[in-house]
Each structure stands twice: as structure tokens, then as C-alpha cells.
A and B are shown apart, each in its own frame.
Chain A
Amino acid sequence: MSEVSTATRSVVVEKEFAYPPEKVWRALTESDLIVQWLMENDFRPEVGHVFQLRSTPMPHWNGIIDCKVVTVEPPERLSYTWGSMGMESVVAWTLAPTPGGTLVRMEQSGFREDQEANYKGAMYGWQKFFGGLERVVGEISEGGDV
């Protein structure tokens, strides 16, 4: 149900739930429901709202994720920035109705979209980059010294 996609430089998790999109949407956007499956939070489904997700601090991590709401289109699309440990990413949710419920897709992109849109060379997308690096990364994992 999930993949660490080398082709699209992002983490994608997709799963079908036996509940209608409206119900899944509530679980994704109501603060007291979010706490049940994600983290303590002060989320509000308003574009531009700045919020934090708070988890138990661990060594080398203060347990805080700084976020900002980017997209709110009930009950289909929700996205927010996800800043943690000096790295900024975007978490985007897409809900699609199915005969049996809802197909939920979460894509976390490790790099900001604006950086990607800006690129001048236009010949080197992440896709190509990671395509070429698959081999290298494979070698690293096998080497086991990362």
C-alpha cells in the first residue's frame, strides 16, 4: 500500500477505506480526531492557518512539526507544509469516492513545489534525477555503511 518512490522523489501511501469521503475528511480535518491517529495539534481547516503537530520529544528531535495549511477543498483535497528537523516538505491528501468507500492517497514531497517550478534548465526533473540514482542508492544500501 505504500512506496518510497524513486521516480517521483516522494513518499506515497494509498489505501481504500470502507467509509465515505465526508467521514474520512472529518478524520483528517477535525483537531480532536486528528489527535487520535496522527498527533496532538492545533489544526484548523483554513488556508494559511499555521499550526503545530506535537509528538513526544526524542533524542535529536524536539517532537514538533511546524505546518501551514495550503489547500482545503472538502471532501477531496487537503494539503499542508510539514517542517521538521530543518527539512521542509508538503503533505497532500487526496480523497476519491469508490463503490466501497474512499480511496485515500497521501503524498509527501520532500522538496517544495515552487523550487521545482522555478527551474531554469528545465531539462533535469527530479524524475530523471532519481531514475539515474537508483543504482547508486542501491549500492549504498548494499554497502550498509550509510
Chain B
Amino acid sequence: MQAVADSVFKALADPTRRALFERLTRDGELTVHVLTGFAGVSQPAVSKHLTVLKRARLVSHRQQGRETHYRAEPKALGPLVDWMSFYGVFWRERFSRLEAALERMEP
């Protein structure tokens, strides 16, 4: 589980990969060819980025003829969503404790 979360964070730390993933969540299934036109980097670079996204399970693919079609798997964002809600609760609770600690401190 930790390894999965880690790979999701690493995959999305790169702006080109974020752009590719976001595009796929918006437009559904796209070919490497179409994604290359959009990303503004070479096709080998796009393929490399897609491999990283695939390892993080953020995208899946299928082969059709000579073209590889990619689609987003937004469920893989789970760890990211969990992380944010976990720390939201965590810090609210720590702020209450901080206030209590301030009350106890000498003026």
C-alpha cells in the first residue's frame, strides 16, 4: 500500500505526466500519437511518461492494430485523496492541542 502511494506521488510529481493524466481523465481514451501532439515532447518521451503512469496504475492501455490506446484510471488517485483527508483531520486536532499547550505556558 505504501509503495503504491509512493508511486502515485512520484508519477504525478512531473508536470508533463500530470498534463497527460489530466488530459486522459477529460477526453477518455487516446492514442500515444494524439497524446504526443498535445504534450509538446517527443513520442519516446511520451511513451516513457506513460510507462511511469502505468506502473502507478494511473492509466491502463490496450493495443489495437499499430496503435496503443491509453485511458485514465482515476481510482488510483485514492492514496492522494486519503493523504489529504488524513492530514486535514490530523492538523485540526493538533491545533486544539497547541491551544491547550499555550494555555498552560507561563505568560
Q: Which residues of A line the B interface, CB within 8 A?
A: 1-4, 11, 13, 15, 17, 19, 23-24, 26-28, 33, 36-38, 60, 85-87, 104, 106, 108, 110-112, 115, 119-126, 128-129, 132-133, 136-137, 139-141, 145-146
Contacts and interface: CB of A to CB of B under 8 A. Distances in A.
- Interface majority SS (helix, strand, loop, mixed), chain B: helix
Nearest to A26: B105
Given A13-B88, A104-B95, A129-B22, 17 more contacts: A2-B95, A4-B85, A17-B98, A17-B99, A23-B102, A37-B98, A60-B1, A86-B2, A106-B95, A108-B91, A110-B83, A120-B16, A124-B15, A129-B12, A133-B74, A140-B81, A146-B78
Contacts of B82: 146
5 residue pairs, one from A and one from B, having the closest CB atoms: A119-B15, A37-B97, A146-B78, A86-B6, A124-B19
